[in-house]
Amino acid sequence: MVKQFSLLFLLLISSLILFASCNKDDEIVNPGIQNKLVLKGNISALYKDGMIKFKNGQNISSDSTISKVIVFYPQGYYNIANVVDGKFSVEVEKGSPAFMIFAGPNDNYLGFLCLKDGFESIPLIKISDDVTTIDLQNILLNNKIGSPTHNPLGTEILLNEEEQQILSMFDDFFYPIVRNPDVDGNGKIDLLENKFYRLQVLWFYMGGNFGNNLIPSFTPPLRYDGWKLAFSAQENNTPQSVEFFYPWNPSSASVSEQTKYIQQWNTTVYFSGLINESLPIGGVYRINYKNQLLDFNIPDQSSAFRNCPIIVPTIALNSDSSIQKVSWTYYNASGTSLVDPTSFAARVNFGIETLSRNYDSPNIEVPENQFTMDEKIYWSSVTRVWIAYHDIFDNHYIIFYGK
């Protein structure tokens, strides 16, 4: 099993699309997406003597005045808007999750936007074409958490409750970056120093079996069969390896086992070994990077694997019993109903293992849900099929189906 995972893992990381380069200009650098809207709001506070004084008289200590609003994306690019007379307006992309943080004049971190408990992202998906502006109205800060008086979830952002629950779970590995975007602790937001650190998770599941059918059986909740962490550093002079420390054994380090450098984005990705003896419980996941300890405080994930949507493949055959195409559908975690993948998934890829060789598909963009084979593979020679979806935060969910 370890060798099979290693081979599959190398194939998966070869298809990762992780980060675009950081940018300090006022415009988003992502020329492939032109569908945008404007987010605006008010920072509802009066500032005096290093304090934030709300209109209700409540005082909250502040290092400095909020002077900038920064919207950034899972790929690492971002946009900045100045706060003028307590107001801001920033251009954002439809079709991508985003995160909003607040900064002082010295690029120091002062807080983040939270649409509701456990929802640190702004999922700019399922938005009507005629929506060009979202007004968050007054944003009230308490302990660095900014709550808008107008919540676009369910109004401009047309996600139902089930979809919101899925995304609030999937964005958990961004949780520590939003709450502490100064990961290296030097007093300045990392993005504004042209560097970006983050974690991702790769889940491995045992889905079920085809048996004599072309659609596999599966019984939720799926059994997880291990997971890996990926730590990414977007900056110059990165080391050859890093060390991972886990909350269940914080004094014992494990060295990264694979590394991938993405020259286009100047990003180095370090992958942990396969972990199957522990679930990713809540706590501090520490990375020893350049002899500096970077802490990521991840919410508890020990039940998350039971709540992930399930992707199920279907095989179609030619008259000679070779595979014509592979299609797929998505079920909720309980397997009781279909779910719309456009609210949470970005890409799909799959692999077909045979007695003599393995076939691996290219990445297929959601909402496409089928792929016509470009090689001849006879169904009788197949031993196993795996299929993976990559969520909109670029975490990965790989499900194995035996035959």
Q: Which of 109, 134, 166 is the last residue of a domain?
A: 166
| Structural domain contains residue 348 | yes
pLDDT band, very low/low/confident/very high, at 23 (cuts 50, 70, 90): very low
Residue 117 lies in a domain: yes
Asked whether residue 314 is assigned to any structural domain, the reply reads: yes
Domain boundary among the residues 102, 133, 166 is at 166
pLDDT of residue 34: 55
Whether residue 339 lies inside any domain: the answer is yes
Q: What is the pLDDT of residues 141-162, one digit of tens each?
A: 888 999 999 999 999 999 999 9
Backbone φ and ψ for 369, nearest 5 degrees, come out as -130, 25
* Structural domain contains residue 333: yes
**Lowest-pLDDT range, 23-27, 112-116, 250-254, 335-339?**
23-27
**Percentage of the chain surpassing pLDDT 70?**
86
CA distance 10 to 2: 12
Average confidence (pLDDT) over 34-63: 60
**Per-residue pLDDT, 44:** 57
Phi, psi (5° rounding) for residue 242?
-135, 170
If one counts every other C-beta atom within 10 angstroms of the C-beta of residue 104, the result is 17
Strand order in the sheet with 292-298: 249-255, 243-246, 283-289, 292-298
- What pairs with residue 387 in β-bridges? 350, 399
**What DSSP assignment string belongs to 148-205?**
ESS--BTTTB---HHHHHHHHHHGGGGHHHHH-S-TT-SSS-GGGGT--EEEEEEEEE
Domain count, the chain: 2
Examine residue 1 and state whether it is found in any structural domain, yes or no.
no
**What phi and psi values does residue 75 have, to the nearest 5 degrees?**
-80, -10
At 68, which CATH number?
A: 2.60.40
Q: Are 164 and 126 in contact (CB under 8 A)?
A: no
Non-local (6+) Cβ contacts of 359 within 8 A are: 351, 352, 373, 375, 377
Q: Is 114 a residue whose pLDDT tops 90?
A: yes
- Asked whether residue 149 is domain-assigned, the answer is yes
Sign of CA dihedral 328, 334, 335, 339: negative
Q: Are 382 and 353 in contact (CB under 8 A)?
A: yes
> Once rounded to an integer, what is the mean pLDDT over residues 314-328?
98
Does residue 95 contact residue 124 with C-beta atoms inside 8 Å?
yes
Evaluate whether residue 249 is within a structural domain: no
Which of 9-13, 61-65, 322-326 tops mean pLDDT? 322-326
- Identify which has the larger pLDDT, 264 or 102: 102
Q: What is the mean pLDDT of residues 114-140?
A: 92
pLDDT at 48: 35
**Residue of 269 and 7 predicted with greater confidence:** 269
pLDDT digits (tens, 9 = 90+) for 325-346: 999 999 999 999 999 999 999 9
Last-in-domain residue among 137, 166, 195: 166
Q: Can you give the residue range of the structural domain that contains 318? A: 306-402
Confidence of residue 264 (pLDDT cuts 50, 70, 90): confident
Q: Give the model's confidence band at 55: pLDDT under 50 very low, under 70 low, under 90 confident, else very high.
A: very low
